[in-house]
Amino acid sequence: MIEMDENEYIVSRIAGMKIINKTRYYLIEWEGYELVENTWERENNVYSPHSISKFIEDYYAKDKKRVRDTSDCELENSSRAVQDIRKSFRPLLLDAPKEFQDTFNFVINSVKINFPVVRAQNHQRINNVPLYVVKNLKARVTIYNDIDSDLPNDFIYTDQLLYTAPVQQPDPNFLSGCNCSGSDDCSSGCHDTVVYDNKGRLAVKQGTAIYECNNACECSINCKNRVVQRGRSIPLQIFKTSKKGWGVRTTQTILKGTFIEEYIGEVITTEECDKRGSFYDEHGCSYLFDMDFAQGELPTKYAIDAFIMGNVSRFFNHSCSPNLEVFAVYYDSADVQMHRLAFFASRDIKKNEELCFDYNGREDLQQIEDEEENPARYSCHCDSNECRKWIYM
């Protein structure tokens, strides 16, 4: 029998919900008490995720089937993964403006679930903690949580950008390519700058745009100048941290200049980005990343939003002493304002070290300390000797 403190009570079920000043309250029916003794409680006071999930399900009349707790069992097939992932967005969408609900629901229901999360076999447990695996990836991604029973199942894992209207996918007819007569040695001669060495590691400094060979080039996918477009080859692990939520660490040593992963999500306009950003700030979450390499000459037109869909890079945390750098990469777009965002190792990285980049990026933002000028700031928990204490978003 579970022993309980005198001020602890058991939730029988949740009977209602209301939102006051952006705070969600639930009407609680208490185990062993009459209905007249029901009380309204703040969401963070209700330690019953099961009851909340059940209420959210019933709130949506489309589907009254009970959500199965994926943290206690292996997903048997991708259809169950689809169901659990799509249900997990619903609590936050209840607070979203109508236009966001329509857009988000369209994206959620249109993206194919090609990479479901499954529980690994028992012999792969670490310290008797279950290990989970993202299926169908070329390079392995595992999920490990020895803090609590949560899983990062509130997004759709994907390896492709989604271009959300009115943004159009880049037109390959505008690409111009090199003429190397079928050779795969494009490391010199056909490009103004050699960006990769013979081992495929970076040979340029941060701030340099990377122009890889593209579909208009005569070289093959094995060309030395095709690194990011070949995809991630480093195995990574998503893990629960003690202070920062989810993070990512490497399961092997990584040498400086190695390509790690590309930032993936929805490609949206900056106007849409601003609208979503205000909503995300209210809820303390944001996965927006500007395509701003050309901003010195042209305004930023596009951003990537990994809130609904993304890959492992969605969980890279901030550090004031980062081991990753972000580069603008062009290989499918002739538009200077639309580029890929790729992470490379800025130094040698040890096995099991967390992968982090500097969210602030530009030095001018790093020096701002006035909270009134930057209301969207968060405490930094990077524990670096050079920690600036705040992250400005």
| Element of type H or E holding 41 | strand 39-42
Q: How far is CA 274 from the centre of its chain?
A: 18
Q: What is the DSSP letter of 254?
A: B
356 is in an annotated binding site: no
Residue 305 token pair: 């939003």
Name residue 240's amino acid: K
Give residues with Cβ within 8 angstroms of 49, minimum separation 6.
none
213 is in an annotated binding site: yes
Which residues share a beta bridge with 42? 25
| Element of type H or E holding 25 | strand 23-30
190 is in an annotated binding site: no
Dist. CA 146–CA 130, nearest whole Å: 9
273 is in an annotated binding site: no
Task: Specify the 3-state DSSP secondary structure of 244.
Answer: coil
CB-CB contact of 167 with 267 (8 Å) = yes
Q: Cβ of 51: how many Cβ atoms within 10 Å?
A: 18
Give residues with Cβ within 8 angstroms of 20, minimum separation 6.
none
223 is in an annotated binding site: yes
Task: Specify the 3-state DSSP secondary structure of 110.
Answer: helix
Residue 324 token pair: 């990753």
Q: Which residues are annotated as a binding site for Zn(2+)?
A: 178, 180, 186, 213, 217, 219, 223, 320, 380, 382, 387
